[in-house]
């Protein structure tokens, strides 16, 4: 992996731009994320930009665009291949995680698409699962684009600020940001349930109260 990263950092900047874009795209569209995590490619793109050969905004736009398009292709794969895609041999060792991803999608819908962008395994399979479940595409696209924008711009910026310390950032940021996103998601769900319960309770009070 380190030799590959060194190669990317030392090729022509435009070629590095293409390589980073293809890696981010392929993670969701072709399950390459099982080999090279997308945040590693995004951080690497930020490092390339930090060397002054490419503007930061161009790398951000590319990574966000590649992430959103990759997810869209993954969605179409799931929509048209369905069960055959879920029975791929590459997923056999990750069957338990796949079932968790399916359950998460059933319970949270679009929110699972957004949060899945920040969890390595979910990022690779969630678009295909959304397609397989026939999630309404405009809804998928909205959450997919939001997740791709926050994730893509954020990790490229981390790589840009980290410079040559990209390896540490790629590893720790992926773990820590995942924990933060999961915690935020759980908190949001708890708040939503509390508000829903209070709303139901408030609506029931007039009917349950004493007659005058």
Task: For 137-198, give the secondary structure using H, E and C.
Answer: HHHHHHHHHHHHHHHHHHHHHHHHHHHHHHHHHHHHHHHHHHHHHHHHHHHHHHHHHHHHHH
Closest CA to 163 of 46, 19, 85: 46
The residue ranges of DSSP E strands in 142-197, in sequence order, are none
Where does residue 44 fall: left (phi above 0), alpha (psi -120 to 50 degrees), or beta otherwise?
alpha
**96 burial via Cβ count (<10 Å: 0-12, 13-18, 19+):** exposed
Per-residue confidence (pLDDT) for residue 197, from 0 to 100: 63
176 confidence band (pLDDT: 50, 70, 90): very low
pLDDT score, position 211:
47
In terms of Cα–Cα distance, which of 131, 129, 118 is closest to 37? Answer: 118
- At 139 the pLDDT is 92
Domain count for the chain: 1
Give the side-chain half-sphere CA count within 13 A for 12.
3
Average pLDDT over residues 50-66: 90
How does residue 57 score in pLDDT terms, banded at 50, 70 and 90? very high
Mean pLDDT highest for which of 58-62, 77-81, 192-196? 58-62
Q: In this model, does residue 146 exceed pLDDT 60?
A: yes
R_g of the chain, CA atoms, integer Å: 20
Output the pLDDT for position 175: 47
* 3-state SS, residue 112: helix
**pLDDT band per the 50, 70, 90 thresholds, residue 77:** confident
User: Mean pLDDT across the stretch 136-149?
Assistant: 92
Contact (Cβ atoms closer than 8 angstroms) between residue 31 and residue 121:
no
Structure tokens, 170: 């790629």
Residue 192: per-residue pLDDT:
55
* The residue to which tokens 């999961």 are assigned: 182
| pLDDT classification of 98: cutoffs 50, 70, 90 | confident
Rounded to two decimals, what is the model's pTM?
Answer: 0.72
Over residues 135-152, the mean pLDDT reads 92
User: 11-20, 91-100, 170-179 — which one is most confidently predicted on average?
Assistant: 11-20
Q: Is the pLDDT of residue 166 over 50?
A: yes
- Which residue segment(s) compose the domain that 55 sits in? 2-208
- Tell me which residue has tokens 């997810």: 71
**Distance from C-alpha of 110 to C-alpha of 157, rounded to nearest angstrom:** 26
């Amino acid at each position: 992996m380190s030799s590959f990263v060194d190669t990317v950092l030392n090729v022509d900047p435009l070629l590095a731009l293409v390589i980073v874009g293809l890696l981010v795209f392929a993670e969701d569209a072709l399950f390459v994320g099982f080999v090279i995590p997308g945040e590693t490619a995004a951080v690497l793109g930020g490092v390339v930009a930090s060397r002054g050969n490419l503007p930061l905004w161009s790398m951000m736009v590319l990574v966000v665009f590649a992430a959103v398009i990759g997810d869209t292709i993954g969605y179409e794969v799931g929509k048209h291949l369905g069960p055959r895609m879920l029975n791929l041999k590459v997923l056999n060792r990750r069957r338990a995680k796949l079932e968790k991803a399916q359950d998460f999608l059933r319970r949270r819908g679009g929110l699972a698409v957004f949060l899945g962008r920040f969890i390595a395994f979910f990022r690779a399979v969630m678009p295909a699962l959304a397609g397989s479940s026939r999630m309404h595409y405009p809804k998928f696209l909205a959450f997919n684009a939001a997740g791709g924008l926050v994730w893509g711009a954020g990790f490229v910026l981390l790589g840009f600020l980290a410079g040559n310390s990209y390896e540490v950032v790629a590893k720790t940021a992926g773990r820590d940001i995942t924990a933060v996103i999961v915690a935020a998601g759980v908190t949001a769900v708890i708040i939503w349930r509390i508000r829903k319960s209070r709303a139901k309770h408030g609506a029931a009070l007039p009917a349950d109260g004493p007659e005058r």
